[in-house]
Structure 1
């Protein structure tokens, strides 16, 4: 109803205005929209009824701006004040969302809209506005956002697809993570892009199905960005999305489930074809499943046996009846036993039964499963295995060659002896015995002869001890004896002396009369030690003392021996480090021709230049180096240093003569010795005629046949061979004749007491005569006096080496002499 200003009277105008106000109130009620105004001059406020109702404030309450701010939540006050002030100042319409406290105590969301009204002078005189309760809209929006987040971050893949184009309209993060694409990439794709097995025919089939059904559940294959594939369980439902028909898909990765299903199928197939018997029954013992292994084992076909009682193949004479087995299985779930089983046409067999109970989804027993193996043959061999085990047990504790307890059983007997002696306050002695000269027999005559010697030695040792004592072979030529209940040290000595005496008697093996002696070390419990390791260690130390004392004797352990053994270990460790760090120097002792008093050569002599001790003479480390085999590396170092020096002297125009190097037989016996020697000479440019190798008489005679072969190979290269320390060993003249010798070196032991000692003079004359008869050159070492030189010259030895002319000197001093 419109106002007609020109024609309507005041009554009509009022009626029309009242009617319009009623309509406005009705619209406010329908829209839940309250109105209000503020007189900017008087600050008086007017609220509509709906405004009071929205806030839950009685209509009789005077309305003003302070009332509004009193119910406004504190966090919104500053923003509301700013926005209203801006509306008054700018004249622009404003709208903002905030929360107020309803009279019920509940917070509600409201939307405030306002705009200023100006008078005819364009001055702001009123602020008009509306208040709308938007709590439901805000709650709906929040719920939608939360649901969107749940979908977005679900571990399942969620897609929305256009029914028309089959392109993706929405994908969640789970889909992106699973496929390896980002959201924008997937939203450009067609459903077939990630479903490689989805054909047009399959799509038509799905569309057709969904015309009559709301959803479909099926498995499909997804293809990732890297081209790998995986299976998903896909739940597809029809929806409306953005006012258009769409499909929503919830996809779950079921690759592991499919893998398990395949595995279960394979296992079922394996069980069907496994060689062993697998049988299942119902809870009454009637056979329900019978695999091919069961047919093979029991000779019943599946058709003939399924449905019959398991008692058909279970021997009634077993420990448990079938019924008793079921009771046990119902209680404990599984059982492993051996039992007699019955074949169709054969005698009973012994089987290993692994039985278990089967339960339904309510955990009630619904049957039994048995895995059955025929162990009849196994049982028949068990007795044989038992016998073999006893034999192996003996072999594990006894030496096969001698029949004596071995190291393992000896250690056990020693531990028992310690326990027993400790309990009874008794003593016992431990003998550590090493056979002297055994290695030479083994190397020269062969292991078969060596084994016979060990057997005879074991018998001799066993004949000396009592029945309650223990004789053991630790390995090689090492034996131990535990002498129990020791009464006195004298009784220990008596037994030790008996062993020494009996062992030095010749041992006849075939055509050989062999001489083997014993070196014995003795430790006493508890005086020397109370632990098995220390008793063994101390007896071993004492044994080495016996060897140092000339062998063929016995020694009791003392603390001093441990100290010496420790020093030996330290020296060996230092020696190894010295080789690694090349701490060795070479000194040279000139060799002279007495007729011309000119140098005809030099002997290279090693010196150990220890970083803290200084120069260490050869006698302090060479014996240990020879014993440990380190002499090989030392000789290699000396050879390299000396050859380089000689080659340098020749290049500089000096004439140092022939370099004489000591050669250890251990080095000579190395397979690659000649190769190393020739390679070294070639690198250094060292000529063969400049070299002489010295070998000692004692080392050569340990294995003369092998020595002859090796030395001939060296001699054929043009290298001279000299035999050192001649006359101190036990040379066989027949072997001496065969050796490719160029020179005999008369040992200083025969020279040092000339002319006082007539025996030494006689021996020296004989060596010179022997050398001349063999057309060998002769050189005497250790010549220190003019008298010794005169004697040697008079008897035909014209080459000498010794302090009379020069001590061993470093290279720089020798160069002055040259």
Structure 2
């Protein structure tokens, strides 16, 4: 028998090629799996390329191993048979890659595929050995022959399982592939050299391919270079493609996140993160379609926060914004998962509620109102607001989105007019009132621009002699359609809409301008009284408005008296005290208007820097010598005397009232008995005539 030897360098090279081929195969499996889920055509190209690269790697390992094989005779290889062994290697590799990129690899499929692949690899090996064309033929040891086939099948099973397990690009997968490729390479290496060990050659053997086939010398170098180049190119292509795909996926995720954020911005309120008007309209349309299809019901609830504007103006927008966020969270937690809580802007919220029966809306509304009524803690401030809610039921109160919105809004404004802090269901009569209120509001917005407001002046007389002390400025609206409109018909609307602030600033400015004219005529002992609304009193810019107005018209502060109602002064006593003291520090006088109608605390009343108490006209109207109102008036006068305050009674219309109030000790009187509200020209003329008659 001929004694075989091996070139150790080529043996080592064959092992390295087997490991590199195994790593390339594992990486190709991951690329094919990834592209198969996204681009089917690209996956087929990767499968074909992977089969060629993997087959070439396995075949090269086998052929380099054969080139490492040495006999003491000349050797060569038949080109056709060698090419056939390469084709077998590529076909087996393609089958293996196709198997491991299937969605599942059950045990039965794994074993069947391993058997097919192992036999295919054995066929490649022994076909390659047949390319020697030995004469006489190669004799094989049956045990080692079967062992080599068994090793091929076992190695194939291990390779298929490992490739299937590591086909996804997960953390640390490349290190795992490196270790697995070493195991797979050694298995392939062991199968080859076990098969080589099974072969035996008789002493008189000759190689027929030595003369006609390919010589092994330069072929070894060529195969090594070509194989390493092919595997390297395939591996680099796979790695670069994976990186490109990773970057593309990252870019896609970034674009998806940006798109989601953009959608969030477009469809949600930026402050509270609640659905905005656009998203609410979509969900309202969906609710209408669903309810129409199932003949069901739902409620659309409009909510407006009572008292929010005063908080926002007095404590600042940052506190107001924080309060809105707290309200939004409380409304969301008080609602069910399938309900929609949206913010339209400002302090307006809308709640879309799915109902089993229309009556269920009552319980939901009560729960929401109660949730808002609980105090809020914002920046060390304990804040309280209430909720005015209007409810429209589908389909009873509207079958379209427009009708439901209009009717829910009308019901909410009805709640506002009815005292706030509660809810009302829509009734048809509310719509007419809402339309009227909307028209009045639109007219009110342009009244300042078009100069439709006027001031009239009611004189204030001193007792007991009765000289005029000055005047109280009273607002009137010369409406182009409705004529002269009294304040009680529009002041409430102005306060609810916030227009009272610019209107109040105009009243203060016009009253001071008129006072400046009277000062110029010599009436420097007169004073001008101007009423402040609750919103004006809470306005953080009030002091600056008063100061700049006095400076603009060059008036001394004591000639101006600002009248604040008792209920306004006592609403937030500590804040009121601070505001009133700042007004008093300017030198402006303070009058507590409508005294006796609120809930004054004597402890706070004595601390107020007021100069004057005005007895409410309600007590004066029913005044009788022995009546309850007479006792109240006498008590107010006595209290005022104790606190060193001027006492002014308003609404004096009869001589009997005048006599009683004079006897009770009032300092000044106002009323139709002495003088009605008049234009500036008539006021001045009347006062001059009164002065002449008194003289």
**Out of 463, 470, 484, which is 1:615 matched to?**
484
Partner-residue secondary structure (3-state), 1:349: helix
The separation in 2 between residues aligned to 1:757 and 1:552, in whole angstroms, is 40
Query: Deviation string for 1:533-564 (max 9, x for gaps)?
Result: 33123112101101211223322223332222
Write the distance in 2 (CA, Å) between the matches of 1:448 and 1:638: 31
| Residue of structure 1 equivalent to 2:334 | 461
Question: Are 1:789 and 2:658 counterparts?
Answer: yes
TM-superposed CA distance for 1:623, in Å, is 1.7
In structure 1, distance between residues paired with 2:681 and 2:523: 13
> Does 1:634 find its partner at 2:503?
yes
Higher-strand-fraction structure: 1
Q: 703-712 vs 578-587, which deviates more?
A: 703-712
Instruction: Please report how far the alpha carbon of residue 392 of structure 1 lies from its aligned counterpart in structure 2 after TM superposition.
Output: 8.2
Structure 2 residue 446 is matched with structure 1 residue 573: no
TM-score by length of 2: 0.57
Distance 1:768 1:569 in 2: 44
The 3 A distance-change label for structure 1 pair 469 and 491 is same
| Superposition pairs of residues 534-573 of structure 1, within 5 angstroms | 534-573=403-442
Counterpart in 2 of 1:428? 298
Structure 1 residues 816 and 751: alpha-carbon distance in aligned structure 2, compared to 1, 3 A threshold: same
SS at match of 1:660: strand
**Is the partner of 1:530 in helix, strand or coil?**
coil
Report the 3-state secondary structure (helix = DSSP H, G, I; strand = E; otherwise coil) of the residue aligned with 1:580.
Answer: coil
The unaligned stretches of length 5 or more in structure 1 are 1-310, 326-338, 353-372
- Give the 3-state SS of the residue equivalent to 1:608 in structure 2: strand
Of 551, 554, 567, which residue of structure 2 is paired with 1:698? Answer: 567
> Residue 502 of structure 2 aligns to a residue in which SS?
helix
2:474 maps to what in 1?
605
SS of the residue corresponding to residue 448 of structure 2 reads helix
Residue 646 of structure 2 is aligned to residue 780 of structure 1: no
Question: Superposed, which structure 2 residues align to 1:44-443 within 5 Å?
Answer: 319=43, 321=45, 348-351=238-241, 374=244, 376-377=246-247, 379=249, 407-437=277-307
Q: In structure 1, what is the equivalent of residue 494 of structure 2?
A: 625
- Deviation of 1:631 (Å): 2.4
Q: Does 1:718 align with 2:587?
A: yes
The structure with the largest helix share of the pair is 2
8 Å Cα contact 2:640/2:647 also seen in 1? yes
CA deviation after TM superposition for structure 1 residue 382, in Å: 5.9
1:405 CA drift (Å):
5.7
RCO greater where, 1 or 2, for CA within 8 Å and sep 6 or more? Answer: 2
C-alpha separation in 2, matches of 1:440 and 1:589: 30
1:749-768 counterparts in 2 under 5 A? 749-755=618-624, 758-768=627-637
Contact 2:324 / 2:347 at 8 angstroms: preserved in 1? no
- Relative to structure 1, is the Cα distance of residues 408 and 634 closer, same or farther in structure 2, using a 3 angstrom cutoff? closer
Cα 1:758/1:516, change in 2 over 3 Å = farther
Unaligned runs of at least 5 residues, structure 2: 1-23, 33-42, 50-168, 170-230, 688-695
Partner SS state of residue 523, structure 1: strand
C-alpha deviation, 1:760, in angstroms: 3.5
Mapped to 1, the partners of 2:363 and 2:579 lie a distance apart of 47
| Partner of residue 639, structure 2 | 770
SS in 1 for 2:449: helix
Q: CA deviation at 1:532?
A: 1.9
Equivalent residue number for residue 49 of structure 1: none
2:557 to 673, 685, 688: 688
Structure 1 vs Structure 2 CA RMSD: 4.4
TM-score (norm 1): 0.49
Query: How many angstroms apart in 2 are the aligned matches of 1:476 and 1:612?
Result: 31
Q: Does the CA contact (< 8 Å) of 1:452 and 1:509 recur in 2?
A: no
1:484 lines up with 2:354 in the alignment:
yes
Residues 49-89 of structure 1 deviation map (CA, whole Å, 9 limit, x = unaligned): xxxxxxxxxxxxxxxxxxxxxxxxxxxxxxxxxxxxxxxxx
Match for residue 740 of structure 1? 609
Q: CA deviation at 1:816?
A: 2.5
Greater mean alpha carbon deviation, residues 802-811 or residues 768-777: 768-777
The 8 Å contact of residues 503 and 516 in structure 1, kept in 2 or not, is answered as no
Matched-pair contact (CA < 8 Å) for 2:310–2:535: no
Structure 1 residue 626: Cα displacement: 2.3
The equivalent residue for 1:658 is 527
1:541 touches 1:562 (CA, 8 Å); kept in 2? yes
- SS of the aligned residue for 1:484 comes to strand
SS of equivalent to 2:644: coil
Distance 2:543 2:342 in 1: 42
Q: Deviations over 1:721-778 (max 9, x none)?
A: 2122223334444444443211122222332222289443444334333322322222
CA distance in 2 between counterparts of 1:652 and 1:418 reads 69
Distance 1:545 1:668, change over 3 A: closer
Structure 2 CA distance for aligned equivalents of residues 476 and 690 of structure 1: 39
